Every structure is written in structure tokens, then in C-alpha cells.
């Protein structure tokens, strides 16, 4: 009824190619921004921030990153956990070596470092394709985790081998801590929200620009793309670099803002790679919205199951965890069979229906 383009006349090319061409969509987007940045920080409590909102925002960044590589460029990666670890350890080294550095610079620099590491591991993708590449990225996963575990320099030779985030500021002279034990939930939340907003905006525009079209050409058929003039070297390596940048930022935030102290094998192991992969499969391959939907789903599902099974049904927690495995695995197969494009596609179908509602013909 409200959701249609009729009567919404575009008078310029830029209006015509806007991200949200339908007025209702645009207002909804502004509403999400206002609620996300203007209302939630004031009503936020620690439980919601720490168990749902902050992990959701952080994983959404990782999911966007992996979606750029896997969903848009078609290169399956199982090394996400390893790249997240690169971000985390870079931010740790920066925070301890330069105590005056603010968190925004630290996080961005961590992303850049990860992008460079990602480039190095992306080079084989020029020769190796498909699941050969997926297995090759496992090399990155295991090697990086081993490296951070064994080389003392990375964790400043601490006895436990763990790294823990010291207290650091949001930005210069602001005096708002976003890391360390004294940081407040709303500051952490807003810090992550800001990164998510900017990165999502960049990702959305990258993927519909010429670079994104090159990635998609490579994904759909790399030889044909090469013939029509897409440079596979450039397309694949930019995808790896941009993707790793996102994943690195996500890994850095996961360590500095969310967890505070990590042990690399536990926090950035192979299970993390799969978690992010599942997010984009369930959310939708090749969709920015899908990254958010998938991240939300995979963050909320365990919390919900744990509350439901252990709280309401009185199961013990080990049993609930196993049940979670069954559900997640089942859902992955279900989505791949029924809707390979995930939640994002379902959402698009709903929107198409809504355009005609209540007069479907």
C-alpha cells in the first residue's frame, strides 16, 4: 500500500540510481539509523550489548568481508578466523607499542595490515580455483593461528600466551574509553556501530560500482570474464584485499572491544571461519543485507536456543550445544536446498509481493 514506486518521480540520474530508489525503503533506512545511533545507546543494558548487539555488529563486518570475497567474487575462503587473528594481533601490537594512539586509527591500521596479509594469501587464487582454493585457505588459517601461538613477539612474551586489551580512547582528546575494563557498553556499541555504518556504505557502493561488477563477472565465469576484458589478477586481488580489510577490522574489534582478552586458538580457530561462512550462506551470498541478516541469525540463534533449552526445558548446557550443532547444520542444508540465496532472497520476495499488495494483479 505504502510500498511502491508509483508517484515517486525521479528527476535526475543520481536520484534514479540511488541505493534505495523506493521512498519507503529510504525512510526505513533512516529510521534504522536513527534508532541504531540515537535511541539504542541510551536504553542499552550490559546484557543486550554483550550478548547480542556488539557481537552482531562485529560479525556483520566479518560477514560483509567474506561476502565480498565469496558471495561477490566467488572465491571460497576458510581462512576467515586466521585473518581475524591478524587484525586482533596487529591491534594488540599497536595498542601496546603506541599507547597514545586512538582506537579509530588502531582499528583502521589493523584492517590495512590484514589486507596486506590477505593479498599474500590471495596470490595462489590466480592458479587454484573452487574448493582447491578453499582448502588452500585452510593453510592460512592453520599457519596464522600457529604463528600467533608460537612466536612470543606477537603476544609480548606474556606468560599465559594470551593477549588482553589495555584501556584506550575512542579518538584523540575525547576521553571516552572503548576498550579495557572501564569501557561502558554504550561507547563500545557506538564505536562498533560507526564502523559498521561506514563499512556497509562503502561495501554497498563498491559492489555496485565497476569493481563490484568485475568481481561478479569473475564469480559467474572467470574465463568468460577474462575474454570480455576483466583483469582476473586485479579483480581477485582487490577482492582479497578488501575482504581481508573488513575481516581484519572485525577481528580487531572482536578482540579489543568485545572479548578484551583472547587466546588465539580458541577465539580465532577454524570454527570461527565456519561461523562466518555459515552467516553468509544463511544470510545470502552476494548481498550486503544478507550479511547483516546472517550475522543476526547466527548470533541470536545460540542465545535463543540456550535460553530456551536450558532455561525453559532444563536441559544441561552440553546437550543444548550439541542440539545447536544439529540445528545449524540442518539449516545450512535446508537453505542450500530450498533457497541458495538465503534470507536476503526471501526478504526480496517479500518486498516484491508488498509492491503489489493488496491488489496482486
Residues in contact with another protein by CB under 8 A are: 74, 76, 124, 127-132, 134-136, 138-139, 141-143, 145-146, 149-151, 221, 223-224, 227, 270, 274, 277-278, 281, 313-316, 318-319, 322-333, 336-337, 340
Closest to another protein by CB, 332 vs 354, is 332
Closest to another protein by CB, 142 vs 289, is 142
Minimum gap (Å) between residue 25 Cβ and another protein: 29
Q: Give me the sign of the Cα torsion angle 137, 141, 142, 144.
A: positive
* Distance, CA of 170 to CA of 75 (rounded, Å): 35
Minimum gap (Å) between residue 121 Cβ and another protein: 9
* Distance, CA of 74 to CA of 217 (rounded, Å): 9
Closest to another protein by CB, 129 vs 213, is 129
Minimum gap (Å) between residue 60 Cβ and another protein: 20
Minimum gap (Å) between residue 325 Cβ and another protein: 3
* Distance, CA of 11 to CA of 118 (rounded, Å): 43
Closest to another protein by CB, 50 vs 149, is 149
Closest to another protein by CB, 21 vs 152, is 152
CA atoms within 13 A on the CB side of 316: 1
CB under 8 Å to 142, separation ≥6 — which residues? 82, 270
Task: With residue 33 as reference, give the H or E element that holds it.
Answer: helix 23-34
Closest to another protein by CB, 322 vs 353, is 322
Minimum gap (Å) between residue 120 Cβ and another protein: 11
Q: Which of 46, 88, 95 is nearest to 253 (CA)?
A: 88
CB under 8 Å to 81, separation ≥6 — which residues? 141, 145, 268, 269, 270, 271, 272, 273, 276
**Rg for the chain, CA atoms, rounded:** 21
Closest to another protein by CB, 50 vs 321, is 321
Are the CB atoms for 73 and 235 separated by under 8 Å? yes
Minimum gap (Å) between residue 117 Cβ and another protein: 14
Minimum gap (Å) between residue 220 Cβ and another protein: 11
Q: Which of 295, 273, 272 is nearest to 344 (CA)?
A: 295
Amino acid at each position: 500500500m505504502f510500498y511502491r514506486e508509483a508517484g515517486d518521480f525521479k528527476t535526475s540520474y543520481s536520484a534514479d540510481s540511488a541505493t534505495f530508489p523506493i521512498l519507503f525503503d529510504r525512510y526505513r533506512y533512516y529510521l534504522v539509523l536513527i534508532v541504531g545511533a540515537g535511541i539504542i545507546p541510551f536504553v542499552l543494558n550490559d546484557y543486550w550489548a554483550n550478548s547480542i548487539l556488539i557481537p552482531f555488529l562485529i560479525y556483520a563486518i566479518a560477514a560483509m568481508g567474506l561476502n565480498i570475497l565469496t558471495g561477490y567474487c566467488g572465491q571460497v575462503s576458510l581462512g576467515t578466523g586466521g585473518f581475524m587473528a591478524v587484525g586482533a594481533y596487529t591491534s594488540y601490537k599497536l595498542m601496546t607499542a603506541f599507547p597514545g594512539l586512538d582506537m579509530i586509527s588502531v582499528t583502521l591500521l589493523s584492517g590495512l595490515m590484514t589486507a596486506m596479509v590477505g593479498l599474500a594469501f590471495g596470490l595462489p587464487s590466480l592458479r587454484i580455483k573452487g574448493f582447491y582454493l578453499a582448502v588452500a585457505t585452510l593453510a592460512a588459517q592453520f599457519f596464522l593461528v600457529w604463528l600467533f601461538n608460537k612466536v612470543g613477539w606477537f603476544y609480548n612474551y606474556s606468560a599465559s600466551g594470551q593477549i588482553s586489551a589495555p584501556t584506550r580512547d575512542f579518538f584523540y582528546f575525547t576521553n571516552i574509553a572503548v576498550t579495557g575494563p572501564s569501557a561502558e557498553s554504550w561507547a563500545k556499541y557506538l564505536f562498533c556501530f560507526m564502523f559498521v555504518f561506514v563499512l556497509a556504505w562503502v561495501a554497498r557502493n563498491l559492489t555496485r560500482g565497476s569493481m563490484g561488477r568485475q568481481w561478479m563477472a569473475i564469480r559467474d565465469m572467470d574465463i568468460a570474464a577474462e575474454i570480455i576484458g576483466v583483469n582476473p589478477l586485479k579483480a581477485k586481488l582487490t577482492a582479497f584485499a578488501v575482504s581481508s580489510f573488513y575481516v581484519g577490522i572485525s577481528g580487531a574489534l572482536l578482540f579489543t572491544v568485545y572479548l578484551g582478552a583472547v587466546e588465539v586458538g580458541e577465539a580465532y580457530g577454524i570454527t570461527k571461519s565456519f561461523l562466518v561462512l555459515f552467516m553468509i550462506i544463511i544470510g545470502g551470498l552476494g548481498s550486503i543485507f544478507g550479511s547483516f541478516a546472517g550475522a543476526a541469525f547466527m548470533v541470536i540463534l545460540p542465545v535463543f536456543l540456550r535460553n530456551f533449552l536450558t532455561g525453559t526445558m532444563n536441559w544441561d548446557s552440553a546437550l543444548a550445544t550439541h542440539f545447536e550443532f544439529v540445528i545449524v547444520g540442518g539449516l545450512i542444508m535446508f537453505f542450500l536446498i530450498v533457497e541458495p540465496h538465503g534470507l536476503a532472497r526471501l526478504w526480496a520476495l517479500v518486498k516484491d509481493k508488498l509492491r503489489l499488495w493488496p491488489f496482486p494483479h
